[in-house]
Structure 1
Amino acid sequence: MLSTLEVFTTVIVGLMVGVEFSVAFVMHPILNALPEDSGQLGHAHGGRMLGAVMPVWYIGSLVLVAIWVVAGWHHDGTGLVVGAAVLLILSVIMSLLLLVPINNRNKTWTPENRPADWKQQMKRWERFHYVRVAVIVAAFTLLVAALV
């Protein structure tokens, strides 16, 4: 039962990492290369779509890792899983304090109502997102290491 939880949790976190990596290194460069209105509308739509899904994914991943910590407390690799949990907590805190406020503004913007500094705000979001991606990649790495 524990090994099923370990594999399931690692896959769920790995998929989340893949989505966030793709946002950072595939989707945002594509959207940023589009003409202003198209790119900005794409950012807003992505903010609405992923803004609805990712909170559940982040919290769900954290809950699964916490269950793994409790269920496997006396097993090898638990320290690595605790480390992953700490990093996932950090990613949630970063999201709430740094990324969500910008995303909440971005997802309401249209070419008619966007602020003059919308590009600077999106660049700030991207910088924070790169750091968050590094944090969740590190958490995923710890989970994989705990499996072996």
Structure 2
Amino acid sequence: MHETSRLSVCVIAHDLASDQIATVHYAQRSWTPQPAWTIPGGKVDPGEEIHLAAARELYEECGLIAASESLRLVHTLQARQGWDGKGGFVLFAFAVTEFSGRLANMEPDKHLDVRWSPATRLPAPMFPTSRRAVEVHLRGGPAFSTFGWDAATLRDMEEV
């Protein structure tokens, strides 16, 4: 059987003045055994441009508004297994430092909380793919990585 890759996005909304990043606390779902932290993001709709999906997800999840042209692609990650157990996905991680709006829990049916978190002390447990995207952004690279293809990253998944 051939797996089809799916596209997803996340946005590292980085307030440089306070060196904090917008984080989202997902409630327990069928695909995560406990609540877990992440950064705003989600699936790219069919026919949707990736950078527009990122700006949309940032607003839909936490109320921050960023012009799609201000988003900077900082990392691409190919995950072997998706959040729903239906195959792999490709995550495009964007960073943005210019945005408006007030951080708010826009989806209280899905999220327990949203908050500004110190960039160097992310809350735990955090989705490993989100944690990696933030770490890579703060280090300035690499531009591409994979997740879930070896035993070490499979252990990371057990944290969430």
Which TM-score applies when normalising by structure 2?
Answer: 0.23
Which TM-score applies when normalising by structure 1?
Answer: 0.24
Higher relative contact order (CA 8 A, sep 6+): 1
